[in-house]
Amino acid sequence: MKNIISIIPVLFLFTTFSCKNGTNSAESENEKTVFQTSREWRPTIDNRADVAIVYGVGGNPSDKSERIPFEERVKSWRERGYTVHFMTGIAWGEYQDYFTGEWDGKPHLDEGQVQLSGDTIWHGHMVPYIVPSDNFLKYLKERHVKRVVDAGIDAIFMEEPEFWARAGYSEAFKKEWKEYYGFDWRPQHESPENTYLANKLKYHLYYKAIKDVFTYAKEYGKSKGMNVRCYVPTHSLVNYSQWQIVSPEASLASLDCVDGYIAQVWTGTSREPNYYNGIRKERVFENAFLEYGSMESMTAPTGRKMFFLTDPIEDWPRDWVDYKRNYEATFTAQLLYPNIADYEVMPWPERIYEGLYRTSADSDVKDRIPKHYSTQMQVMINTLNSMPLSDNKVSGSSGISVLMANSLMFQRFPTHASYEDPQLSNFYGQALPFLKRGIPVSTTHIENVSYAGTFKNTKILLMTYSNMKPSSAEEHEHIANWVKNGGILVYSGSDTDPFQTVQEWWNTKGNNYKAPADHLFEKMNIAASPTEGEYSYGSGTVYVIRTDPKDFVMKEDLDQKLVDVVKSLYEEKAGAGELEFKNNFYLERGPYHLIAVMDESVSEEPYIAKGLYIDLFNPELPVLRQKIVHPGQQALLYNVESVADKSEPQVLASACRIYDEEIKGKSYSFVAKSPIDTKNYMRILLPSKPSDCEMKKADGTVLCDTECLWDEFSKTCLFVFDNDPDGVYVSLKW
């Protein structure tokens, strides 16, 4: 394997390619909230986001109910006033006609992803995870994408370009290996070298697949006079690395044919356990915060549109109490990124509103979503419909960032030379010691270091090569220049993992570095394999800690050394003021106030907010003068005092969406819409107590069993009535 790099076209993986007709069009400006569904419109799932993303020409493999034809599903949502987009999987889907040979007369089940045992990795019955061959992509374009564009849909989402790290043993993959590398396939379990090569090929195959399909979609759309926009719904780099999946991730943002992403972060991804202070457990809020952060930083330098997703439940069947608690944690985490204000409010409303789940953890009784939870959920969704962008920052000492790379996904499986990184601890070992102390640590993607502004808000960059490797020498040029101009770099690592010596650019073609970090150190006039300590380069500083970051979290009380080093550099070298330690985060976005209080932190003190608030996590929307948030809890509050003109009647919070508002003299009216079989609570600001309240169905029938409760202190009225997707007409006089 000597000098293997000379015949491997590795640079293809990280080169910017242009796809024709890429654009970030103005159409997306009115598409703030979206949801995905495989079903036709039904009154039970009419959640009133801006966009219904209809899933799959053939539906969703997980949905076993009777399927209504694709065009009829599209029509049903359009007739209800929705903009309609399209989503399907690029690594799996209802593509049985391809695998059985119905499409081209040849069976293709041999194109599934196969693991060492010889077993295919399945997503469902006759739905394998796919090795994306050119023939499969041809099928996907002709049988699916063309039909979607012909239906008049101008936004396409190709979700989850996923290749399992444990896969790579199929004949289809071996064929792709030979074509790409120019030599015969090598089993990835036999050496770190083979593992790295296998995962880079997996990465390349889905990079190429996305580029190919989206280029076709845009060109075919253009031929019909349409501007087709293309998005990639994808898990975060944090999660894919945890779950041992390889995907193109950050590199897709360089493609002109990629208009944006959906950050698929939810309870299912964020509850993946991690280590902190020697304890392995779920840390849903903290994990979600890091996942959303990695997605935001992945696209921030490129200006691509980003939707943040949350899910009121998750794929794994649990109980409604569990779902509610973790939904609040992930929902709060997404809102702590004030530069993102586009959201996928839910996937699969059919399973959320109509699915049966346990009523509590210790009960086998299953039921539909509790009324109080559906009300709270709809309040939260309608909050997203009006959530503003903000220049405000999350409370806490800013400027500490952890460096990430797509190659985090390359080293996770299998284990070589007994070196392990349990639960991605080399990443969490840099992030959690600061996040748990109330520091809003961010992430920086090494693939983006060439973009202007990537380091704009970074005072201290934390990095290691114990869990990832640089893709090119040029990345080190940019990092070294940043340090030279005053940046502070803290490098933690023993540089002893078995991937340090894979045949790559740092040890081939005239380079002879024992570890990739030595090349970076040389760029900063530091000798190879430097001992632990502080070094200067230009106006900047480098601090080397000869410990793999996983030790900071997998063992009890061992993160203090890293924290002390960073605190000293932050306060004395960066001149950034005191590095503040606390147990909470706080952010204001327009009238919305976000609070998260962490356990396992510097104190067990609750956060106490005083003012005039509506509690949006309480389905009854109470007015509070004080909100106490305890460790392990989050809060979403509406600040009534922020309303500029309190003489103007307006809905401040509701479990419905408001249409056709009209103010005349001393009257206020509107139409409220939300799914059937749910209860609406809404709080309305009025100049004075209403003298007359009327609520009618669309057919004019007066609603019974309603409430109208006045709160004199806040000058708000609480309305309670049954929701109706056809609309409830509300009229008030005072």
* Start-end of H helices in 315-399: 320-335, 349-354, 371-385
Question: What's the pLDDT at 29?
Answer: 66
Nearest to 169 by CA among 190, 138, 193, 140: 190
Residues 206-226: what's their mean pLDDT?
98
pLDDT tens column, 533-572: 999 999 999 999 999 999 999 999 999 999 999 999 999 9
Residue 30 or residue 239, greater confidence:
239
Confidence of residue 30 (pLDDT cuts 50, 70, 90): confident
In the predicted structure, residue 24 carries a pLDDT above the cut 70? no
In the predicted structure, residue 58 carries a pLDDT above the cut 50? yes
Residues 174-180: what's their mean pLDDT?
98
Residues 129-138: what's their mean pLDDT?
98
pLDDT tens column, 311-322: 999 999 999 999
Q: Where in the chain is the domain with CATH 3.40.50.880?
A: 400-573
Distances (CA, A) of 183 to 14, 177, 618: 21, 8, 62
Give the C-alpha separation, 523 to 96, whole Å: 53
User: Is 2.60.40 the CATH classification of the domain at 650-733?
Assistant: yes
DSSP 699-731: TSPBPPS-EEEEETTTTEEEEEEE--TT-EEEE
Q: Where are the beta strands (DSSP E) in 533-632?
A: 533-537, 540-545, 584-589, 592-597, 607-615, 623-629
Give the C-alpha separation, 286 to 284, whole Å: 6
Residues 490-497: what's their mean pLDDT?
97
Residues 76-93: what's their mean pLDDT?
98
Q: What is the mean pLDDT of the chain?
A: 94
CA 316, 320, 321, 327 torsion-angle sign: positive
Residues 351-374: what's their mean pLDDT?
97
Residues 589-603: what's their mean pLDDT?
98
> End-to-end CA distance of the chain, in Å?
84
Confidence of residue 444 (pLDDT cuts 50, 70, 90): very high
Residue 382: exposure state from Cβ atoms within 10 A (0-12, 13-18, ≥19): buried
Question: What's the pLDDT at 296?
Answer: 96
Confidence of residue 628 (pLDDT cuts 50, 70, 90): very high
- Rounded to two decimals, what is the model's pTM? 0.95
* Helix (H/G/I), strand (E/B), else coil: 159: strand
Give Rg (Cα) of the chain: 27
Nearest to 669 by CA among 652, 693, 689, 647: 693
Give the C-alpha separation, 491 to 196, whole Å: 23
Question: What's the pLDDT at 124?
Answer: 87
> Which residues are 680's β-sheet partners?
721
Question: What's the pLDDT at 12?
Answer: 37
In the predicted structure, residue 17 carries a pLDDT above the cut 70? no
In the predicted structure, residue 1 carries a pLDDT above the cut 80? no
Q: Is the peptide bond before 690 cis (omega within 30 degrees of 0)?
A: no
In the predicted structure, residue 5 carries a pLDDT above the cut 90? no
Residues 457-472: what's their mean pLDDT?
97
String of b and e for 302-326 (b: at least 16 CB within 10 Å)? bebbbbbbbbbbbeeebbbbbbbeb
Kindly state the percentage of the chain with pLDDT values over 90: 92
Question: What's the pLDDT at 2?
Answer: 33
Tally the C-alpha atoms within 13 A of residue 184's C-alpha that lie toward its C-beta: 1
Give the C-alpha separation, 721 to 701, whole Å: 13
Residues 56-60: what's their mean pLDDT?
89
Question: What's the pLDDT at 584?
Answer: 98
Question: What's the pLDDT at 65?
Answer: 67
Give the C-alpha separation, 140 to 210, whole Å: 11
In the predicted structure, residue 10 carries a pLDDT above the cut 80? no
Confidence of residue 28 (pLDDT cuts 50, 70, 90): low
In the predicted structure, residue 454 carries a pLDDT above the cut 70? yes
pLDDT tens column, 285-332: 999 999 999 999 998 888 899 999 999 999 999 999 999 999 999 999
CATH of domain 400-573: 3.40.50.880
Q: Where in the chain is the domain with CATH 2.60.40?
A: 650-733
Kindly state the percentage of the chain with pLDDT values over 70: 96
Nearest to 331 by CA among 406, 294, 383: 383
Question: What's the pLDDT at 60?
Answer: 83
* Structure-token pair, residue 68: 């209504």
pLDDT tens column, 95-125: 999 999 999 999 999 999 999 999 999 998 8
Confidence of residue 14 (pLDDT cuts 50, 70, 90): very low
Give the C-alpha separation, 581 to 46, whole Å: 44
Distances (CA, A) of 697 to 295, 531, 660, 700: 43, 75, 15, 5
Question: What's the pLDDT at 368?
Answer: 98
Angle (CA) 562-567-568 rounded to 5° is 105
**Among the ranges given (15-24, 481-490, 527-536), the one the predictor scored with the smallest mean pLDDT:** 15-24
In the predicted structure, residue 19 carries a pLDDT above the cut 60? no
Give the C-alpha separation, 649 to 178, whole Å: 69
For residue 116, what are the contacts with CB-CB under 8 A and spacing of at least 6?
166, 169, 187, 189
Q: Which residue has the tokens 């599903």?
A: 73
Confidence of residue 251 (pLDDT cuts 50, 70, 90): confident
Residues 664-689: what's their mean pLDDT?
97
Confidence of residue 183 (pLDDT cuts 50, 70, 90): very high
Question: What's the pLDDT at 302?
Answer: 87
